Amino acid sequence: MSNQQQPVKMWSGRFREPLDAEFEAWQRSIVFDWQLLNQEIAASKAHASALAAAGIVNAVELAQLRAALDAIAAAHASDAGKAEVRDHPSAEDIHHFVEMKLVERIGLLGLKLHTGRSRNEQIATDLRLYVRTQIELVVEGLAAWAAALVEQAHAAHDAVMPSYTHLQRAEPVLVAHWLLAYVEMVLRDAARLRDCAARLNYCPLGSGAVAGATLALDRTIAAQELGFTAPTANSMDATSDRDFVLEYLQTLTFVGLHLSRFAEEITLFATAEYGFVILPEAFSTGSSAMPQKKNPDLTELIRAKVGRIHGAAQAVTLQLKGLPLSYNKDMQETQEPAFAVGFVPQMLTLVARFTAALTFNRERMNEAAQSGYLNAMAAATYLVHKGVPFRTAHEKIGNAVRFALEKGVELGDLSLEELRAFGPEFAEDFFSAVTLTATLDCHDVTGGTARRRVRNALDIATDRIASLTAFRAWEAAHAGS
């Protein structure tokens, strides 16, 4: 290890006065960008490879640099090691920390690594690597939740529940059909994340501070080593681009919204007023005052988390608004929102296990699906098949519903004589047309709740979810394309 000390700051050559102590502490980013240590190590190794190809370091020096960088990563992999990075007394940021540790290990060669690069491109690269990894984790979590939804849908078989519009009972649907609605949301979320990953997968290394590296670096070397599709096309854009952070956060807002909608329905369905769902005790808590309570803490917390995710997206939107090209210190503030949503993969893992543990009260749901005139649409369709225009059929069935309400019975309980008071088209086959199974199966269209359609949709959903579990392989296949 060299006895020669490195400069106190990475940029201090032209300055005579020290920083204001309070300002220095206030502007340091190591307190949060320590989370980019692994990305900084990977990017630094890739840059070292590019320097070796350009003849700036020789093969022995390259080996020393890469070994020292690996040793730094290993030394700080534990919780105690991470705390050492976060609480370092003098490092400005993660780049400064790694450089100081390199000098401690291999002397002045550690300072040579910064040749031909700027912190502006380093942080842009580190953040892309971080977001890319987080996207992988989120997609895997989405796949786990989707698989749990499909597993419950298979288990539900032909169980029926009421669907709702305006929170009023509308028509009966299969429980599996309801669950598959959330699968569709999950698959859209995963597609958005894949799109985001594809767009961010370009390497800023070699962009310099703003105008490009001053050395003739082969930028494809670092890009390929880090699994990027290619180098970025414009140095000014590369160092100032945080679109990928904002797009990632906005996409996570959709994930949060869909989780929140599911959490809201489960919370409602678990109430005594609905009684459709039995909450798993492993994901519920009791009341400190009321002994009988079983509270839906997991769904309530999930419902609230979307606020944090949306807040992070809004923060980055406002941070980027009006920034001139190229890099500005404002961009340091885009990091914390990206880190602030790091809870999403774990949240998805929990909701997947919670979903798998749910128990449905089929008898209560079936009873609810057969009361409240949920077969009125099927009844109107029956008249359409008899040649009655739909608007007329709608009016006839509406009158029949009003009569049944006054009598306190369901449509299927009216006599044929009573029905014929609303039109001569009613016949004995009306009663078979408004049974629960007939009401389900009249929705025999792609995407409908007819039993055969839902069985087919389950098979298709299973195949689509299987593709999500292969996301890592998908990303690897696209990294060098």
Q: Report DSSP letters for 43-54, one per residue.
A: HHHHHHHHHHHT
pLDDT per 10-residue tile (average), the chain, 481 residues:
47 68 84 97 98 98 98 97 95 95 96 95 98 96 97 97 97 98 98 97 97 96 98 97 98 98 97 96 90 92 95 96 93 96 97 97 97 97 97 97 97 97 97 97 97 96 85 53 41
For residues 61 and 115, the answer to whether their CB atoms sit within 8 Å is: no
Q: How many domains does the chain divide into?
A: 3
Q: Does 227 reside within a domain? A: yes
Q: Does 241 reside within a domain? A: yes
Residues 146 and 95 grouped into a single domain: no
**Predicted pLDDT of residue 1:** 40
**Predicted pLDDT of residue 354:** 98
Residues 94 and 137 grouped into a single domain: no
Residues 226 and 301 grouped into a single domain: yes
**Predicted pLDDT of residue 397:** 97
- Name the helix (H) or strand (E) containing 359: strand 359-360
Q: Does 168 reside within a domain? A: no
Query: Which residues contact residue 113 at a Cβ distance below 8 angstroms, ignoring those fewer than 6 apart?
Result: 44, 47, 48, 51, 65, 99, 102
Indicate which residue of 12, 287, 371, 467 is catalytic.
287
Residues 333 and 427 grouped into a single domain: no
Residues 108 and 143 grouped into a single domain: no
Residues 71 and 178 grouped into a single domain: no
Q: Does 161 reside within a domain? A: no
Residues 287 and 149 grouped into a single domain: yes
Q: Does 1 reside within a domain? A: no
Residue 426 domain boundaries: 369-459
Residues 148 and 202 grouped into a single domain: yes
Residues 243 and 133 grouped into a single domain: yes
- Residues 382-387: contacts with CB under 8 Å, at least 24 apart: 382/429, 382/430, 382/433, 382/434, 383/423, 383/425, 383/426, 386/425, 387/425
**Predicted pLDDT of residue 381:** 97
For residues 349 and 355, the answer to whether their CB atoms sit within 8 Å is: no
The phi and psi torsions of 41 (rounded to 5 degrees) equal -65, -45
Token representation of residue 71: 């040793």
Annotated active-site residue 284? The verdict is no
Q: Rounded to the nearest 5 degrees, what angle is found at the Cα of 244, between the Cα atoms of 239 and 245?
A: 95
Residues 202 and 340 grouped into a single domain: yes
Length of the chain: 481
Residues 403 and 334 grouped into a single domain: no
Residues 236 and 287 grouped into a single domain: yes
Annotated active-site residue 287? The verdict is yes
